[in-house]
Amino acid sequence: MAAGRFSLRSLRDRAAGSLFLAATLLPVGLVIVMIIGLTLRAQPILAKYPLGELLTGETWKPLQGQFGFAPFIIGTVWVTVLAMIIAVPVCMLTAIYLSEYAGPHVRGLMKPLLDLLAGIPSVIYGIWGVIVIVPLINDVIEPVLKQTLGFIPLFNTNNPTGFSVLAGSMVLGLMVTPVITSVAYEVMQTVPHGLREASLAVGATQWQTVKFAVLRKSAPGLIAGVVLGFSRAFGETIAVLMVVGNVPQMPRSIFDAAYPLPALIANNYGEMMSIPLYDAALMGAALVLLVLVVAFNLLATVALRHAVRRAA
Amino acid sequence: MKRARVEERTFIGLMRGAFVFVAVGLIMILLTVIVKGLPALTWDMITQTPKGGFYLGKEGGILNAIVGSLYLAGGGTLLALILSLPITLYLAAYARGPRQSRWVPIVRLALDVLWGVPSIVYGAFGFIVMLALGLRTSLLAGILVLTLLELPIMVRAMDEVIRTMPIELAEASYALGATRLETALNVIVRQALPGIVTAILLAFGRGIGDAASVLFTAGYTDRLPDSLLRPAASLPLAVFFQLGTAIPEVQQRAYASALILTAIVLMVSLGSRWLARRLSRNVVK
């Protein structure tokens, strides 16, 4: 730097640097404070029951002092994983189509639509779920699947409403579609043209080019896109809460009602101060969500590093 | 050779199907909101606060929620901007090069974690902070929690734009003898301005649409927000609460409220595109 070490400009530069650094350390502090704060509030229940019992217990009866988190954790996993199973293949195919096959008109129309819809509030997706998806499941999907594949427990149920794991997953799946698709599309667009041309030049078909050149090159970015979608889906509260049924039970079929962790917290915050240990239990639920996010991000960082090395 | 062709055909078919499925699904969402919301939308909805018996289908509107949401998201966005600019500039101008702080990878990981933290967890965290300080649900608490929610969104969006900036631009500035601060303010901010505006409006859109974080912290009220220390209503919660009642008229109003919320978000989104395009005229290509 040309400015002398003790000139006013240099001092100002370093002073601003310290100030900026202080702001930059804020996110780190926030993560730590959140973990400590939630742990402290969940302490009463952690002190009373062993952690393993809380996490694997299947009975949720706060009035009788029974706090088993398993139905909620399993509910969260079911809804999120099923949502990703629905969304990821569709998003990838759509992104490949947009990036490699579609004409400029389709692209020019679809990209802004995806951006707009990525910004639509989740409560709107929830409303759409209540109006469209729940009746669709109840009147069409469930009867048909039950008749044809009802011998598989996964498709059999006694739930008389459409409010179910599948409803939550479909709403979530569509909610994360714009996010995953537009990230995947953008990643594929950054693959250099020369790579495609080289592949076509040695006689590969367009699909082989996509499969062996484009997808392999963009794998790390695609993983990052799926991780983004997963993060959005996994903690979503309102949209899921509106369609998933909210029954504290272990779901056995995709048509059973479930009760994911975020819905549990949101539904019961009103009465949590009036039942002993209830507030500690709900803050414990928030802590579980937070710990899962941290673990998931650590995992994704490792996976990404691995994928980057392979794609290079 | 034959197998390759069959495979190609199959996948093109699948892709077309997936594309149509996504396009139809997404357009259907917008159509559902418009078709359901438009008949129930009246002038009173956007100019009146709830009157007595509003939640039984009597007259009134949701002006309280509209104004409340604008205050909440506006305040949250402003505070988030004040915090995210220095963070982004530090990562862009100070944290590059050989003397990079050991903190940088940890900060990036923390930002990723915060980006993924569910809004309900921010709400719960805000709630325990309020308990510790003896505060009650208020506009201020709602704004602070939305700040936390919007901060990682804003930083990530700004950081992505700055990363696409040609490094030579900053190098040219350093070569002319500019300090890191001068480069950050005069080159990076100016060059990334369209992206910064987009990031701000993106965060605003996410803030105004979030229900779970304000549920705990901002509360709900039928009055217009008049003090930072009193509760404030918000549009997502207005939609949610009205949809939860058993009275058809009130459910109709939930659809109208959803339409209002969607209209605001779409206007913000379109506005940000327009602004970004205007501002990008001053950007070195």
Whether the CB of A8 is below 8 Å from some CB of chain B: the reply is no
Residue B76: pLDDT over 90: yes
Query: Residue A264's closest chain B neighbor by CA?
Result: B120
Separation of alpha carbons A286 and B5, rounded Å: 51
- pLDDT at residue A90, as a whole number: 95
Say whether residue B28 is in contact with chain A using an 8 A CB cutoff: yes
Q: What is the reported pLDDT for B177?
A: 86
CATH topology of domain A55-311: MetI-like fold (1.10.3720)
**Interface check A212 vs B, CB under 8 A:** no
Of the candidates A24, A25, A178, which has its C-beta nearest B26's C-beta? A178
Nearest CA-CA partner of A286 in A257, A264, A259, A258:
A264
Please tell me which residue of chain A has the smallest CA distance to B8.
Answer: A207
Please tell me which residue of chain A has the smallest CA distance to B216.
A269
CA end-to-end distance (rounded Å), chain B: 45
Q: What are the residues whose beta carbons fall under 8 Å from the beta carbon of A182, sequence distance 6 or more? A: A95, A111, A114, A115, A118
Q: Is the dihedral of CA A109, A112, A118, A121 positive or negative?
A: negative
Query: Residue B244: pLDDT band by 50, 70, 90 thresholds?
Result: confident
**Domain with B132 in it:** 45-282
Q: Is the pTM of this model over 0.95?
A: no
Assess whether B15 and B103 both reside in one domain.
no
Average pLDDT estimate for B6-30: 89
Q: Which tens digits make up the pLDDT trace of A234-283?
A: 889 999 999 999 988 888 888 999 999 999 999 888 777 778 888 899 99
CA distances from B212 to A87, A140, B46, B116, B215 (A): 23, 31, 23, 14, 5
Q: What is the ipTM of this complex?
A: 0.90
Residue B207, pLDDT > 70, answer yes
Q: Which residues of A touch B153 (CB under 8 A)?
A: none
The reply to whether residue B107 touches residue A25, judged by beta carbons under 8 angstroms, is yes
Whether residues B67 and B208 share a domain: the answer is yes
Average pLDDT, chain B: 89
Determine, for residues A238 and B121 on separate chains, whether the beta-carbon distance falls below 8 Å: no
Structure token digits, residue B238: 């207005």
Claim to verify: residue B12 and residue B92 sit in the same structural domain: no
Both B36 and B59 in a single domain?
Answer: no
Best probe of the B interface among A36, A76, A124, A279, by most B CBs < 10 A, is A124
Within 13 Å and on the Cβ side, how many CA atoms surround B34?
A: 8
Q: For B283, left (φ over 0), alpha (ψ -120 to 50), or beta? A: beta
Q: What residue spans define the domains of chain A? A: 8-48, 55-311
pLDDT tens digits, chain A, 312 residues: what are they?
445 677 888 888 888 888 998 899 999 999 999 999 999 999 999 988 888 888 988 888 888 888 999 999 999 999 999 999 999 999 999 999 999 998 889 888 888 889 888 889 999 999 999 999 999 998 888 888 888 887 777 787 777 788 999 999 999 999 999 999 999 999 999 899 899 999 999 988 888 898 888 998 898 889 889 988 998 898 899 999 999 999 888 888 889 999 999 999 998 887 777 788 888 999 999 999 999 988 988 888 888 788 778 766
The region of weakest confidence among A140-149, B95-104, B174-183 is B95-104
Give the mean pLDDT of B207-217. 91
For residue A301, the distance in angstroms to the closest alpha carbon of chain B comes to: 8
Same domain (yes/no): B201, B271: yes
* Residue A5 in tokens: 């070490």
Residue B100: band (very low, low, confident or very high) from pLDDT cuts 50, 70, 90: low
More confidently predicted of A53 and B53: A53
B35-44 pLDDT, tens digit per residue, is: 999 998 888 8
Calculate how close chain B gets to A161, using CA atoms only, in Å.
16
Task: Out of B12, B89, B209, name the one closest to residue A121 (CB).
Answer: B209
Structure-token pair, residue B42: 């009246």
Residues B117-172 have pLDDT tens digits of 999 999 999 999 998 888 888 999 999 999 999 999 999 999 988 888 888 888 88
In chain B, the residue whose alpha carbon lies closest to the alpha carbon of A5 is B179
Q: Does B24 touch chain A (CB under 8 A)?
A: no
**Over residues B46-58, mean pLDDT:** 77
Chain B interface, best mutation among A99, A205, A208, A237, by max B CB count within 10 A:
A237
Is there a single domain that holds both residue B61 and residue B179?
yes
Assess whether B19 and B113 both reside in one domain: no
Number of domains into which chain B is organized:
2
Task: Give yes or no: residues B228 and B264 share one domain.
Answer: yes
Q: With beta carbons less than 8 A apart as the criterion, state whether B239 and B258 touch.
A: yes
What is the rounded CA–CA span in Å between residue B219 and residue B233? 7
Q: Are residues B62 and B126 in the same domain?
A: yes
Token couple for A40: 């402290």
* Interchain CB distance below 8 Å, B110 and A269: no
Query: How far is Cα A144 from Cα A138, in angstroms, rounded to an integer?
Result: 10
Local confidence band at B97 (pLDDT 50, 70, 90 cut-offs): low
Contacts with B128 from chain A: Cβ below 8 Å: 37-38, 41, 283
